[in-house]
Structure 1
Amino acid sequence: MATAFLTNQDDVLMMKKAGSKLFQFEFWGGIGGHLEYEELNNPMLASYREIEEETGFKRKEINNFKLKYILIENNDGEIRQQYVYFGETKHRNFAPSDEGELYWIPRNEITSLHTSKIINYTWIHYLEHPFIKDIVVGTTTRNKEQYSQIQWSIMKETVAF
């Protein structure tokens, strides 16, 4: 999957969904979705496509668009990988979406929204470490009490020899 969080000043464009194929309750998320076959080696293209489909924002209207997180989780034996991008919009005007309702939410209120645990953990990390320039990898785990956790590590360039 590719997910994008677009900011404008101190607000973040978030999507509220009434439900999905998997969940029958209201939840919040970023802009994004599944990668198409031809996008598998370039998730940034998938993210730009999803942004335009869901918000109407064109690539040229987004500044500083960067991959910040790669999230990995095991969901009933299926390994899921999510690329999370952050970018800044030049304006606040979005087109209505068939996917859900779009709202500009103050950055400091994001973690109080009903999001998936992995997205909530990502936002907590992002707010606590706003100046990290490297890509951060997060993998979900469970502690002894079976509560979900996430382990973070900074991705660095490989030195093979």
Structure 2
Amino acid sequence: MMKKKKSKIFNFEFWGGIGGHMESDELNSPMTASYREIEEETGFKKDDIKNFRLEYILLEKNSGEIRQQYVYFGETKHMNFIPSDEGELFWVSKNELSGLYTSKVISSTIEHYLNNITNTDDIFVGTMMTSNEFNPEIQWSTIKETVDF
């Protein structure tokens, strides 16, 4: 996880994952963008990551735009990463994740992941619902294969 002092949006310390925006030539390949961001922020190359898979697609409306996040999981045996200009990197155990100060969408995703760890190929879609603006919630569903036209 990455500890950030602040961002373009928030002026306080918080935790987040490795990631960023897709470049124009990556719009049809979020996995390619993820590998690039991982290498830029950690120094890990594609071959350093095993079992890299899409687990979550998150959707939320923020400042009038629809934001979409792809959340991938993978494994590595490498423990050392390069310093990052984005923030300070730390290895965080699963039992410590829920105690980190993160955005509502990330904390909800972590909670969902920890409560639904499976060995399936399910991809979860989370949509931020704001029926109560002071306590937004994520509505979860899974993407299923199309079986009918």
TM-score greater than 0.5 by the shorter chain: yes
Task: Pick one of 92, 101, 104 that aligns with 2:91.
Answer: 104
C-alpha distance 22-144 of structure 1, shift in aligned 2 (>3 A): closer
1:78-129 Cα distance to aligned partner (Å, 9 max, x none): 1000000000012211111111100111111111111111010000000001
* Paired amino acid for 2:129: T
1:3-39 Cα distance to aligned partner (Å, 9 max, x none): xxxxxxxxxxx00010011110001100010000000
Matches of 1:83 and 1:28, distance apart in 2? 17
The SS at the match of 2:71 is strand
Matches of 1:36 and 1:77, distance apart in 2? 21
Tell me what 2:147 maps to.
159
Tell me what 1:9 maps to.
none
Tell me what 1:23 maps to.
10
Cα distance, 1:150 vs structure 2: 0.4
Tell me what 2:79 maps to.
92
Matches of 2:6 and 2:130, distance apart in 1? 26
The reply to whether residue 59 of structure 1 matches residue 84 of structure 2 is no
The reply to whether residue 73 of structure 1 matches residue 63 of structure 2 is no
C-alpha distance 145-77 of structure 1, shift in aligned 2 (>3 A): closer
- Give % identity: 65
TM-score, normalising length: structure 1? 0.88
* Paired amino acid for 1:32: G
RMSD, aligned CA: 1.2
Tell me which protein shows more strand as a share of its residues: 1
Cα distance, 1:145 vs structure 2: 6.8
* Paired amino acid for 1:130: I
TM-score, normalising length: structure 2? 0.95
Cα distance, 1:151 vs structure 2: 0.3
Structure 2's unaligned 5+ residue stretches are: none
The reply to whether residue 142 of structure 1 matches residue 130 of structure 2 is yes
Structure 1's unaligned 5+ residue stretches are: 1-13
Matches of 1:100 and 1:144, distance apart in 2? 32
